[in-house]
Structure 1
Amino acid sequence: MSAPLNTLSDELLARYLAHSATKEEIETVEKWLSQFPEKRKELSEYRLIWELSGKLKPSSATDKVDRAWERVRQKMQQPTPDIDKIRPLHGGGSGQGVKRYPLLALAMTVAAALALMFGLYYYRFEPVPEMVSVVTQEQTQELVLPDGTSIFLNHHSHLEYPAQWKDDIRTVSLEGEAFFDVHRDEKRPFVISTLEGEVRVLGTSFNVNASKEGPMRVDVVSGKVEVSNAVAKKLLVKGQGAEVQRDTILSLMANTNLLGYKTQIYDFKATHLADVVESIRNGYHVDLRLAKSNISNCRLTIRFEKEPLDATLAVIAETLQLELRKDGDTYWLEGAGCR
């Protein structure tokens, strides 16, 4: 019987999470996620557990099994005595009835027994951690994690993290957008896992947009940030940014106006109106649109600091000699365009 359409094999999902899937397999998973959007949250949870389990140290169980297997392999390579010359200690027969035990089967039995023993130990003493989930809808939310890291979560976002971290890493999972001010800890990196890639820091401040609408974007406000995907890594410093997709990382200048949803500060310098609209839309959580594409290239130089929405839009329209119109919950900017 074939698998249900809304499921993929565990082996394929494991390769996808481990960044070892082929391009075709990645496309298969991405198509599956687009067809069944509810699976994104499920996969995000799996990814976080995957990241955590990769950092746990189950009493060196794997090392012990490897060493046991190596010892068995060495014995397999030793000369085997002629079994026909072996006589029973009692009975003095010709060797009939003496059983041959295949060393390979014995080795596999030993390795399987060791793996089972240490696997049971691992799952008994290293349970999957309890998870804390924070979801925003039409509001933002600020929270402080147990290590002192503060996070400002934008609307329609989902953050998940263990109730208690292990000693060697601090991992969270993000879908949506958030500003991070990470408490510095040289011994425990802070890792943000998303569907597009990973962000790793020791202690710094930066913004991560990992929404479904486009590639993950990272903008660094202070310190250093390492971003990575399945094929590459890039180190970013203050004033730098990047767009991260599954197979590419594009370097950018950091855009602090994208932090407006947190800071309520916008500092536009000869900025195209299309980019201004994007920043205002995201920061004020408002449906703002341009009536015609010919005004998208108008440039604006102005600074807003904690201004109400209506005042901000009125000043933009007046500065560029445009008209502001409201239709229901939608704001429209319209005009003849700019030279």
Structure 2
Amino acid sequence: MEPEHKDKTLIRKYLNQNCSPEEMKEVKRLMLVPGTQQIFDELLSENWTGLEAEENTDQPHLQEKLQQFYRNLEGEEARRSHQKGEEESTVRVIKQRTYLRYAAVMAVIFLGLGTYGILQYKKTPVAEQIAMREVLNPRGQRSRIVLPDSSAVYLGAGSRITFPEQFEANSREIALEGEAFFEVTKDPKKPFIVHTGKVQTRVLGTSFKIDAFKNRPLTIAVATGKVRVDEYLNETSKSLAILTPGQKVTYDQGMIKTANTEIDEINGWKAARLVFHNESLKEIATELERWYNVEISFDNKGKAKEKISVVLQADVPLNKIMKILAATGHFKYHITSRNVSIN
């Protein structure tokens, strides 16, 4: 039997109220991912006894429905006890516990479910549910995406964005893994929120760039307008920075660093202009690996640690960009297919 997918395992833990605070955050992130609803439906259908989703979410009404559900379970188990032999008593006990546990889960879903819209999963007709879109760029590919509000996203290589086909009435929320430049249509009544792990970037109408790759520091740089950056942890929020044009914040394992940056450098990224300030050749190589879908290795490990400053135009053939980098970093290189060796 194949092991259960980690997302399904996590949602199962949520339905059984066994999630840690960090896992709760991951569940909320999954809400923005297409296909999550199907996982919920599958898990909510296990050992199902026919309780239907309720349009009436009044608390007394739901309490009455749940009490009726419990009575039905007890009646069903009583009928089974007359029909089954003594040898099946253990099976009945297991099933009864399963039903009661599921009823407890439904109680959480129906009565406690202000939590991040799970109620909407079960009470909204399928035709009214908002469809989600996901755009994933492989390494070596970039794209421009127009969102439902006409905002533009320049999505980098090896990056992913998830967003609804139609934004909600009072907010515009998307999720990002990787890097992207945003040109957000101004709408004071609907804040634009970018989810990157436990950090949220909130704007009303502005342009900015986010670098949010896994296992790397998170960086947000602003070209126009104003941006607010918050951390959400254990259901509480903490302000990390308020950024204006020419400012950026870096967040790395709880450490926060703000600095000034050139607006032309932020905007230039859209046109494949990469600016490196006193960065190691290894860090620059990692960036180029993603942009060109290649593997870059160093024969001399010490060379990889050397730091340089350089401006590269990453929309030209790889051999041209390597000539510029080699002249700046004083090294030789060899390109074979999709592999580059530096010595």
TM-score, length of structure 1 as denominator length: 0.60
Aligned match for 1:10, one of 3, 14, 20: 14
Map Cα deviations across residues 161-220 of structure 1 (whole Å, 9 max, x no partner).
122112211111222322211111111110111323211111111222333343433222
State, as a whole percentage, how many aligned pairs show the same letter. 23
* Residue 201 (structure 1) aligns with: 203
Q: CA deviation at 1:146?
A: 2.0
In structure 2, how many angstroms separate the alpha carbons of the residues matched to 1:48 and 1:15?
Answer: 19
The partner residue of 2:248 within 238, 241, 253 is: 241
Structure 1 residues 69-111: Cα deviation after superposition (integer angstroms, max 9, x where no partner): xxxxxxxxxxxxxxxxxxxxxxxxxxxxxxxxxxxxxxxxxxx
Matches within 5 A, 1:58-77: none
Alignment match of 1:144 (pick from 143, 146, 166): 146
Partner of 1:322: 331
Task: Give the C-alpha shift of residue 310 in structure 1.
Answer: 1.2
1:45 maps to what in 2? 30
Matched residue type, 1:308: P
Residues 260, 280 of structure 1: CA spacing in aligned structure 2 closer, same or farther, 3 A cutoff?
A: farther
3-state DSSP of counterpart to 2:288: helix
User: Does the C-alpha gap of structure 1 residues 12 and 331 become closer, same or farther in structure 2, counting only changes over 3 Å?
Assistant: farther
Structure having greater relative contact order (Cα 8 Å, sep ≥ 6)? 2
**Which residue of the partner structure matches residue 83 of structure 2?**
none
Secondary structure of the 2:232 match is coil
Partner residue of 2:133? Answer: 132
Q: 1:155 — aligned with what?
A: 157
Which amino acid in structure 2 is aligned with residue 143 of structure 1? I
Q: CA separation in 1, counterparts of 2:309 and 2:255?
A: 32
Residue 288 of structure 2 corresponds to which residue in structure 1? Answer: 280
Counterparts of 1:283 and 1:160, CA distance in 2: 21
Mapped to 1, the partners of 2:253 and 2:136 lie a distance apart of 25
In structure 2, relative to structure 1, the CA distance for the partners of 1:48 and 1:170 (3 Å cut) is farther
Contact 2:155 2:181 in 1 (8 A): yes
Question: Secondary structure of 1:229's match?
Answer: strand
Check conservation: 2:222, 2:266, Cα contact below 8 A: no
Q: Residue 227 of structure 1 aligns to a residue in which SS?
A: strand
State the AA in 2 paired with 1:251: T
Rounded Cα–Cα distance in structure 2 between residues aligned with 1:133 and 1:235: 29
**Counterpart for residue 308 of structure 2:** 300
Change (3 A) 1:14 1:258: farther
Maintained 8 Å contact 2:218/2:252? yes
The alpha carbon displacement at 1:130 in A equals 1.9
Matched residue, 1:165: 167
Distance 1:310 1:182, change over 3 A: same
Cα displacement (A) at 1:314:
0.9
Which letter does structure 1 place at the counterpart of 2:330?
A: Q
- Runs of at least 5 residues in structure 2 that lack an aligned partner in the other structure: 35-55, 61-107
Matched with 2:49 is none
Aligned equivalents of 1:284 and 1:262: distance in 2? 16
Tell me, in whole angstroms, the C-alpha distance in 1 between the residues paired with 2:336 and 2:145.
35
Distance 2:197 2:336 in 1: 36
How far the C-alpha of 1:15 sits from its partner, in A, is 6.7
Cα 1:239–1:144 shift into 2, 3 Å: same
**Contact 1:197–1:244 under 8 Å retained in 2:** no
**CA displacement at 1:159 relative to structure 2:** 1.7
Q: Cα deviations across residues 239-273 of structure 1 (Å, max 9, x unaligned)?
A: 33233467554435558768876322134455543
Quick check: 1:179 aligned with 2:188? no
**Cross-structure match for 1:331:** 340
SS of the aligned residue for 2:31 comes to helix
* C-alpha distance in structure 2 between counterparts of 1:293 and 1:252, whole Å: 30
Max Rg structure: 1
Q: Which amino acid aligns with 2:247?
A: Q
Contact 2:171 2:192 in 1 (8 A): yes
Which structure has the highest helix share of the two?
2
1:262 aligns with 2:264: no
TM-score, with length taken from structure 2:
0.59
CA contact 2:157–2:290 (8 Å) conserved in 1: no
**3-state SS of paired residue (2:150):** coil
For the aligned residue pairs, the C-alpha RMSD in angstroms reads 4.2
Query: Which residue is equivalent to 1:36?
Result: none
